[in-house]
Amino acid sequence: MAVQFPRPVLADEYERCIALEEVFVTKVEDKACISSILKALKSSLPLPGLEHLKRVKSLDDGVSIVLCRSSDVTDINSFFREICEMWNIRVDGLGQPLVAMVPRHQCLTRQQFEDASKHWPVNYHENKHVARAISGELFDDVELKEMKQYMELAIAAANHCMTMKKDPVGAVVVDAHTHSVLAISCDHTCNHPLQTAVMVCVDLIAQSQGGGVYQLGVPFANAHLCSQLKDCISNQFSSTDQLAGCLLDRLLVTGENREPTTHKTAENQMPYCSNRKRKLHMQHDEKSSQPYLCTGYDLYITREPSIMCAMALVHSRIRRVFYRVVDPNRGALGSTCKLHVQHGLNHHFEVYVGGLCEADYIS
């Protein structure tokens, strides 16, 4: 059976329905004067915030041209006369101004583009990465199988939690570039309210870099178990369940054998940031030889992280988060909010929900 693809959790702008805004348009029948009118419009009547609109809509007997937002003028008729004088055209060369409804927002998905185009022609530049994530073409079968293994490892960690009467949440941190699992953990909030699966995972990664504060026994897994797990992942064996128990709260790499994160990763990680901000971030990366916490890494977790955990993921610079089930009451990556796409935060990451496995798992 094919592995289901995980669905991206996108900012609300990607999911909104088409909202319409009232504008004044005028009909032009004489096609010879369209280009001069458009030229005049561009300089004298820009439409800030409506740049996504095409100014002209073709009609059977001419074109319709957007003049201005209806909220921008109090008396459209005198305004219209002024425009005609300014453009040096006869009033009767243009049709009387009429109200039209046009899409208010820029289109971010093909669906929005198709819906918006029913109302008025719009510009649309497809974000190929987002489009492929929505259509399920972002990950190929090999990647999906590997990702499924990582999620099953997190599920296995959660199942071990349950046997220890803990909140059944399991998580793994993965370096997708080297195909390695870096840390495995589960919920420990019965020991300490801050020791959630995410917080322990981030702490384990910090320990591999000489930091970390939690005392959870011996954090480093032995080399034999690590290579067994690597075999499991690469050959897609089904014995990850047993291994997860042995590897719980373990780091699977030490600071010495970690591969340095490439700067390309830092660049890929900031798709919504300005070039200046991205450059500063990369310069910062270059200064330290070691990657900062989870830079370039992915988290697989059985349950949607809370606000505290999601914020820890922002601070630790995670690259992507895959979670299995939603937490409608406390989840911060799609349910109660979408922390990973908040404009005010200095790091954003991709989030995916569901898919990946058919294994029985009760949240």
Binding site for Zn ion (CB under 5 A): 196, 306, 308-309
CB of 184 to Zn ion, least distance (A): 17
Ordered alpha helix ranges (H), the chain? 12-15, 34-44, 76-87, 110-117, 128-135, 141-163, 197-208, 223-235, 240-247, 263-269, 275-287, 307-315
**Alpha-carbon gap, residue 196 to 188, rounded angstroms:** 6
Residue holding tokens 């649309």?
Answer: 124
Q: What is the DSSP string of 77-124?
A: HHHHHHHHHHHT--GGGBPPPEEEEEE-S---SHHHHHHHHTTS-B--
Q: Which is nearer to Zn ion, 295 or 306 (CB)?
A: 306
Q: Which two tokens stand for residue 141?
A: 């079968």
Cβ distance 160 to 186 under 8 Å? yes
Give me the least distance between CB of 151 and Zn ion, in Å please: 18
Cβ proximity to Zn ion: between 184 and 309 the closer is 309
What secondary structure letter does DSSP report for 19? P
Identify which of residues 193 and 260 has a Cβ nearer to Zn ion in the complex: 193
Rounded to the nearest whole angstrom, what is the least distance from the CB of residue 191 to Zn ion in the complex?
14
Name which of 151 and 201 has its Cβ closer to Zn ion.
Answer: 201
Residue 174 neighbours by CB distance under 10 Å: 27
Query: Considering the complex, what minimum distance in angstroms separates the CB of residue 323 from Zn ion?
Result: 12
Shortest CA distance to 226 belongs to which of 181, 177, 172? 181
User: Which amino acid appears at position 144 of this protein?
Assistant: L
29 phi/psi in degrees, rounded to 5: -90, -35
Q: Nearest distance from residue 301's CB to Zn ion, in Å?
A: 10
Q: Considering the complex, state which of residue 66 and residue 309 has its C-beta at the smaller distance from Zn ion.
A: 309
Closer Cβ to Zn ion, 195 or 240, answer by number: 195
Rounded Cα distance between 117 and 265, Å, is 36
Question: From the CB of 327, what's the least distance to Zn ion, in Å?
Answer: 9
**In the complex, minimum distance from the CB of residue 330 to Zn ion, in angstroms, rounded to a whole number:** 7
Closer to Zn ion at the Cβ: 275 or 329?
329
